Amino acid sequence: MKKTMLSKTMMGRTAVKALLATALLAGGIVGQVGPASATAAKPTAAPIMRDNLSKYGLVKDVELPVTVEAGGLSYTLEKIMIYDFNSKDAINLRKTYKYGEESGLISKPTYFVWTKITVKNNSKKVVDNTTDDFWRLKFKTFTTLEPVTNWSRIEKTNDKMALNKLLLKPGEQLTTYQAYMYDGTTFDYFVIRLFFNGQFSEKYVVKEL
């Protein structure tokens, strides 16, 4: 009787050890799987939409952002969106910043153009856009793409929301948004031209055909 009870006890202990060994083995496997799953490739983030040029038949030769430099002034076009002048997006932007229905040179705009830019003054001169327009964007020869003033923030200098007055001392920079009106009906190319400190530079985002 004692031998039988002893045998059962030993069998019970053996079963417990076997169970513990199985649990440890399973834990080791789980431990191996955990890190592998943690290092699995994460979903790729959607690319940032920097322009809608293709909507208007413009095929880019270079991708944005695009930087042009002249005379110590650096202009980077971070983003550009072209909207039909009476589209929902254009109307919302015009209402938000109180842009009018026309600009100084354009009485019947066809498109409203919204850009995000970064301007850096690496020269020894002050950059003051009240005296001149240092950069110009062109879609077509002899057709105007004109920057416009928003009257809701007219008194602000170096406004990060919507550019009016720019005043950068040597070494300063500004990232902001700038609006344009365009009265053309076609788009032949897209070029950024920069004039500063007696120097000129240009870069075609979309080359002429």
* 17 DSSP 8-state letter: H
Residues 100, 112 contacting (CB under 8 angstroms): no
Measure the CA–CA gap between 175 and 119, rounded to whole angstroms. Answer: 6
For the entire predicted model, the pTM comes to: 0.78
Six token digits for residue 104: 């100084």
Cβ atoms of 123 and 71 within 8 Å: the answer is yes
pLDDT higher at 36 or 52: 52
Report the pLDDT value the prediction gives residue 209, as an integer from 0 to 100: 78
Q: Pull the structure tokens for residue 176.
A: 């902001």
* 103: nearest Cα among 179, 181, 164: 181
**CB neighbours of residue 167 within 10 Å:** 14
**Phi and psi at residue 59, to the nearest 5°:** -100, 115
Residue 122 in contact with residue 132, Cβ under 8 Å? no
Phi-psi region of 142 (alpha: psi -120 to 50; beta: other; left: phi over 0): left
Is 18 a residue whose pLDDT tops 70? no
State the average pLDDT over residues 138-163: 91
Query: In this predicted structure, what is the pLDDT of residue 16?
Result: 45
More confident residue, 19 or 183: 183
Tell me how long the chain is. 209
